[in-house]
Structure 1
Amino acid sequence: MFDVADALRGGVEGPEHAWRFVRSFAAEWVGVPLAEGHGSRAEELGEAEQELGFVLPSCLRAGFLLLGSRDDLTRNQDPLVRPAGLFVEDGVLVFRRENQDCAFWGIPLDEAEQDDPPVVVRTPDGWIPFLDRMSTAWVELVLSETLFADAAPGRGMHDACEPPLSSLPALETAFTRVDLPDHPMWVGPDDSPVRWYAGPGCLLRRDGVEDLSRLYVRGCTDEATEGIRRSVPVRWERGS
């Protein structure tokens, strides 16, 4: 089974690496390969650029063209906005929003001409750095939105828990830390940093400091999800 930690060993090297990862992840982990029609139409992006009055950052545009219409990979919890919904706030081009508009992710316009610009997130305390490259933000978006997606029968439901400190060694032993930088959870410092773990067919995200953390998990099959639950012996919200 596809192992996210292996595929991202050494981190996201840039846009082309991000696109290769997303293609492999969609085909092998999600089980639905990217295909023609899964990206946003160039005409949609052109209309958005006309409305905004400037050309979209290249890495943002390329991601939309690749998977902008794959809602299962991009629009479950904190969705990618539609091209027509792109907007500017406080000098930031917003491309993603929390589902109740409590947070927004975007690219600062004064850095938008970079090939792989940084991404910021608007929290209750204002805009803060999120990830230093848009290519990494695309990978994080796909992982997060897949983690919280409603799965087809047999394809692994997501689960969550509040792991006690005593359970963290089991997590570190059973799963591999994914080479993505620590990044903030928009809710606040107690829910940060966000860190990713994985194993074959398994995806895990731990939010927050050790004594206040929350763990979200999903397997690519029901059996993989059950394997995660057995590996980290805690009280799970959905499972036993």
Structure 2
Amino acid sequence: MLFHVLGPLEVHGRGGYVHRLGRGKAATVLATLLQHPNAWVARATLTAATWHEAAAPPSARANLKTYVWQLRHLLPEDRGRSRIESAPGRYRLRVLPGELDAGRVAEHAARAHAAVAGAEFATAVGELSAALALWRGRPYDGVPSAAEESGRLVELRGRLREELGAAQLALGRTGEAAHTLTALTADDPLRERAWACLVRALHAQGRHTEALDAFRRARHVLATELGVRPGRELQAAHDDALGAAAATTATTATAARVA
């Protein structure tokens, strides 16, 4: 079985059958349990999430039992044991290793970070690419009570895209890096490190004018949105690109005079 939360909530069962849970309350119960895999979740927490901003009805406790019953019938047993366990005032969803896509992302990210620490950038690119391939849309789409966890995962995806671009750049795969980072800065323009890596990727390709234009765009958005000036990394990338652009201009002018 596979639990997919990196997009609309889905459960992939035996034989490739896909359960799309939609936006109902049973889906919210499952989403809440999936945010705490293999951990006990208090009934009060499930109730607050299930009714979210509305007041829970007097029948909430009975309703919650119904939603759990529905989920137990949806999720196949594991070696004769229900996937959802209960104890007085609490529930727990048993998730096996590799079954939750968000968990697999965390594993890929950990291996990528270890690879970067060891300067094994090709391995890092592979792990980061595998992690990013698991996204299908906005995490927990359609589950308002999961907004905080969704936001955390969106931020994680941005960091992984940034790290992918940096690893591609470290490998000298400047075209791939420029593609990755151009898309990222368009989607998330406040990522200063992504801008710095983009400037360096464009500079490394000899695209000095585009590199300087990227710096100007970064400087503008940082000033407008955050009220800050470019940091040391971004400024250094700009200075290198500017120096290369000036050298290219001087070389061209000298060649023209000689001709």
Higher relative contact order (CA 8 A, sep 6+): 1
Mark the structure with the bigger radius of gyration. Answer: 2
TM value normalised by structure 2:
0.25
By percentage of residues, which structure has more strand?
1
By percentage of residues, which structure has more helix?
2
TM value normalised by structure 1:
0.26
